[in-house]
Amino acid sequence: MIKHLRSAADLDAATATLILDTAAEMAALSGREVKKLPALRGRTVVNLFYEDSTRTRISFEAAAKRLSADVINFSAKGSSVSKGESLKDTALTLQAMGADAVVIRHSASGAPHRLANWVEGSVVNAGDGTHEHPTQALLDAYTMRSRLGRLDGLKVAIVGDVLHSRVARSNVLLLTTLGAQVTVVGPPTLIPLEVGAALSDKTQVSYDLDAVLPESDVVMMLRVQTERMQDSYFPSAREYSRRYGLDVPRLKRLPEHAIVMHPGPMNRGMEIAPEVADSPRSTIVEQVANGVSVRMAVLYLLLGGK
Amino acid sequence: MAQPRADAPSKIILAGSDLSRVVDRIAHQILEKTSGATGTVLLGIPTRGVPLAHRLAARIHAFEGVEVPVGSLDITLYRDDLRLQATRALGKTELPAGGIEGLRVILVDDVLFSGRSVRAALDALKDLGRPSSVQLAVLVDRGHRQLPIRADYVGKNIPTAHSESVKVALTEVDGADEVRLIGGLQ
Amino acid sequence: MAYLLKGVSVLGAAPTDLLIKDGVISDKTDKDAVVIDAAGLVALPGLVDVHTHLREPGREDAETVETGSRAAALGGYTAVCAMANTSPVADTAGVVEQVWRLGREAGLVDVQPIGAVTVGLAGKQLAELGAMADSAATVRIFSDDGFCVADPKLMRRALEYVKAFDGVIAQHAEEPRLTEGAQMHEGEVSTRLGLTGWPAVAEEAIIARDVLLAEHVGSRLHVCHVSTAGSVEVLRQAKARGVRVTAEVTPHHLLLTDELAAGYDPVFKVNPPLRTSSDVMALRQALRDGVIDVVATDHAPHAVQDKECEWSYARPGMLGLETALPIVLSVFGEQWDLIADRMSIAPARIAGLDGHGGDLTKAGTPANLTLVDPSASWVVDPSGLASRSRNTPYAGMTLPGRIVATFLRGEATVLDGKAVK
Ligand SMILES: [Zn+2]
């Protein structure tokens, strides 16, 4: 088993599949009355959050607690972190506390890689800057597999601000590893340079959402921050939503079986119309529930053994 | 504990039809001791306990026409030796549709050795519900218990040295039926 | 003190004896001279660096004029040009004279201050360039390095103004609007790492503009740390037209690529950033061709806490003085004439440093020289460097070429590979 989960690139197909299979077992066990499992008793998991993300933190916390790990939440607010303590000094403190795993959320890309140099335990990336968010990609893959029964050969469109999206990077890496065909879609200003060479040469690029939709089994809408238009990535929210928003007419262009995903939080009316977000084809609520199972699987596989 | 080397000498203890006869005997014992297997559920412990449980249910059905529900109970997350080896993949836990509440659960495993797996199974079971009683059926008991645990149904007692190991193969998993004693021979 | 270098090879020529006496190369004899067995050693004119950050005043925790001078001498340098981005900024005669005096006191290399182009490097108003030129430091190179003189009107004025005292503007070519938040070279690797890209065009666009401005006003332009193949093409064309432009490349841009950012270790963070291998190849060819005139270190010491952190929070820059010659040797081999020109003769000419980069075969040439053992190799150990900082990207690398001795105006600053003070 791998030691750290810093990037979806840390996962080969076998390991990624093992995580998804383990998550399925965890999900099955989560349905029962006694939710707690003893596997990580005596292990300490630290949630080190430099960015506010209550959803992700709670998801990791629930996952660790269901496996009976001790959880320490070390959030940037009201701690030495906000007083300017360096990541390295914080790491040494966590090391002294005997952290077996550190789940880190940070606004700087690569912070988990840096942290892994300074702690002996496992490092799990819970989102770093505009780099990656591998557990989000795992839960997205899990959701696709449970809805559509497979990942191999699945056609997935990832739509929106791919340039600034850590969710997109991790999903492209993971999904192509698992045999899906990924097309990133958005205005050219928001598609990173050489995305194919950088992430996976199987990645397609399109600027035309309408052309991609009829071919897609999954369409994943990324959050688009309206601030991006101040930086001239696109002219206006209205134009963005006309060209790249998923509305009801566009939903109808999708094949019958296709599903709609969104990593949240959504800008309803911007990248996704409210009717689409709430439609039965949307997996948005499921994604949240699957998050706990996937994170249990990750923590168990990283910490469960020797 | 010392494991015999892969190329250690080995000896077949049970093969093919012998193994089937042993399974038949356990099925008969269960019918006897449980008044016809009423109110009973068989839970196999992965990996090889699961096909064994299915075989037992099939034999019981053949002998008496009784349908005994079968499920599986994975004990990985309850093991006390998780940290002694690389992370183990999980097996399946699947309870029969009728659950286990108030029923007699018979845990089915291939080999009974230290008793630690059974202890883990009892822990796992406790989190799933409250059976009226729990019994244990094993294909082989090789001795060397480390906990106060005994089996209710034993296919074959095989006295072993600590340095030896017992390997059960089943057609469903391994492609053939046999029980092999490995190591400890000249 | 006189020194007799026995059996030394000047620029790879046949072994000879070289007498250093009264501060110059001498054709006399001196029976009291200290004899140095220089068999197998190559003598080069003392290296000259037109781009060094000595950090004093302001960041003495990272480097001082003295520690930087010692690192320079150990790297074979006899003169370094100290960049103006100190605190306070070297934008007045007072500050440049202070740096110049500190260099004299250290006495290990000639420290030639560079003056800021604009007040406080703010890019708004010309600093008192004439006063710095007229000061004891006789400043000739002006640079806002660290920042680009982005305003085209201000750049034009600066280029024109320094003609009065044969000054040169050394431009840090980086269009600031195209590099907002930039962390590394924009390309495949930045996409993978999720780091904001620093596009090659941000450098090339400024160089293109500045060579046109320099051509228009007939002034001298020097381009700092050229890092892209596109910049090389712009320079090649400008030089072919006769524009008075010179350019430098750093050792790290001649060797390292953006792939090194993959582990997010900020020791590889530098500005301009490490580029691709095709850029590296183009820069090497440009240095051979003379399109790029000199190798300059851009020696940029940083305190530990400014590098032992997240990539985005780290300061850009790398140590360079003690590894420059070995890196150039490893890239180009023992092409001593090329090395002497690009690392001593041409930089001395650009910086107006008479007495450096002289002809060692001529009696009377100031004895600024260094002795290299090209057959020795060494492993870079950050803690063994003379710089006060440790941010070398070459840690653990085995490099060819050891500096055995360095002489500044006939006095040894380095002997047996150790600084004399
Ligand atoms: Zn610069």
Q: How far is the CA of B90 from the centre of ligand 1 (A)?
A: 56
A238 is known to lie in a ligand binding site: no
C296-313 pLDDT, tens digit per residue, is 999 999 999 999 999 999
CB A193 to CB C190 under 8 A?
Answer: yes
Is-contact A250 A277, C-beta < 8 A? no
Catalytic residue selected from A32, A83, A252, A306: A83
**Does A18 touch chain B if contact means CB atoms closer than 8 Å?**
yes
Residue B4: what residue type?
P
Alpha-carbon radius of gyration of chain B: 16
Dihedral of CA atoms C22, C26, C28, C31 in degrees, nearest 10, equals: 60
Share of chain A above pLDDT 90, in %: 79
Share of chain C above pLDDT 70, in %: 100
B38-91 pLDDT, tens digit per residue, is 999 999 999 999 999 999 999 999 999 999 999 999 999 999 888 888 888 899
Beta-carbon count within 10 A of C104 CB: 12
Residues 110-139 of A with CB under 8 A from C: 110-111, 113-114, 128-132
Q: How far away is chain A from the Cα of B157, in angstroms, using its nearest Cα?
A: 32
Chain C environment of A88 (Cβ under 8 Å): 308-309
Q: How many CB pairs under 8 A join A and C?
A: 68
Q: How far is the CA of C142 from the centre of ligand 1 (A)?
A: 12
pLDDT band at C56 (very low <50, low <70, confident <90, very high): very high
Q: How far away is chain A from the Cα of B1, in angstroms, using its nearest Cα?
A: 16
Chain C environment of A129 (Cβ under 8 Å): 194-195, 312
CB A110 to CB C189 under 8 A?
Answer: no
Share of chain C above pLDDT 90, in %: 100
Q: Could you say which of A108, A130, A197 has the minimum Cβ distance to residue C313? A: A108
Residue B4 has pLDDT above 70, yes or no: no
Residue C51: what residue type?
H
Chain B residues in contact with chain A using a Cβ-Cβ cutoff of 8 Å: 74, 76-78, 82-94, 123, 127-129
Tell me the C-alpha to C-alpha distance, in Å, between residue A227 and each of C60, C71, C176, C179, C312: 40, 47, 20, 18, 21
Q: How far is the CA of C375 from the centre of ligand 1 (A)?
A: 33
pLDDT band at B186 (very low <50, low <70, confident <90, very high): very low
Q: What does the alpha-carbon distance between residue A183 and residue A266 come to, in Å, rounded to a whole number? A: 21
Is-contact A221 A181, C-beta < 8 A? no
Dihedral of CA atoms C405, C409, C411, C415 in degrees, nearest 10, equals: -10
Mean pLDDT of the B160-181 span: 92
Give the residue ranges of DSSP H helices in chain A. Answer: 13-30, 54-66, 87-96, 111-118, 134-148, 166-177, 195-198, 209-212, 237-244, 248-253, 274-277, 284-303
Q: Could you say which of A21, A33, A305 has the minimum Cβ distance to residue B87? A: A305
CB A39 to CB B89 under 8 A?
Answer: no
Tell me the C-alpha to C-alpha distance, in Å, between residue A277 and each of A259, A282, B60: 11, 6, 52
Q: How many CB pairs under 8 A join A and B?
A: 55
Q: Which residue of B has its CA nearest to A298?
A: B87
Q: How far is the CA of C174 from the centre of ligand 1 (A)?
A: 9
pLDDT band at C1 (very low <50, low <70, confident <90, very high): confident
**Domains of chain B and CATH, by start:** 18-162 (3.40.50.2020)
Q: For chain A, give the mean pLDDT.
A: 93
For the question of residue A56 being annotated catalytic, the response is yes
Mean pLDDT of the C183-187 span: 97
User: Taking the domain C49-354, which CATH number applies?
Assistant: 3.20.20.140
Q: Which residue of B has its CA nearest to A305?
A: B87
pLDDT band at B6 (very low <50, low <70, confident <90, very high): low
Q: Could you say which of A87, A166, A198 has the minimum Cβ distance to residue C310? A: A87
C222 is known to lie in a ligand binding site: no
Q: Could you say which of B82, B84, B90 has the minimum Cβ distance to residue A22? A: B90
For the question of residue C151 being annotated catalytic, the response is no
- Name the neighbours of B, counting chains with at least 3 Cβ pairs within 8 A: A
Q: Using CB atoms within 10 A of its CB, is residue A105 exposed (0-12), middle (13-18) or buried (19+)?
A: buried
Q: Which CATH superfamily is domain A134-285 in?
A: Aspartate/ornithine carbamoyltransferase (3.40.50.1370)
Q: For chain B, give the mean pLDDT.
A: 92
**Does C195 touch chain A if contact means CB atoms closer than 8 Å?**
yes
Tell me the DSSP string of C264-332.
--GGG--SSPP--HHHHHHHHHHHHHTSS-EE---B----GGGTSS-GGGSPP-B--TTTHHHHHHHHH
Q: Could you say which of A18, A28, A39 has the minimum Cβ distance to residue B82? A: A39
pTM: 0.92
Chain B environment of A22 (Cβ under 8 Å): 89-90
Residues 33-62 of A with CB under 8 A from B: 33-34, 36-39
Residue B2 has pLDDT above 60, yes or no: no
What pLDDT shows up at residue B1?
A: 43
Catalytic residue selected from C279, C298, C306, C341: C298
Give the residue ranges of DSSP H helices in C22-151. Answer: 65-74, 93-106, 129-134
| Reported CATH class of domain A8-132+288-302 | alpha beta
Domain span(s) for CATH 3.40.50.1370 in chain A: 8-132+288-302, 134-285
Long-range contacts of A276-281 (CB under 8 A, 24+ apart): A276/A246, A276/A247, A276/A248, A276/A251, A279/A251, A281/A251, A281/A254
Taking 70 as the pLDDT cut, the residues of chain A under it are 77-83
C39-50 pLDDT, tens digit per residue, is 999 999 999 999
Is-contact C10 C361, C-beta < 8 A? yes
For the question of residue A66 being annotated catalytic, the response is no
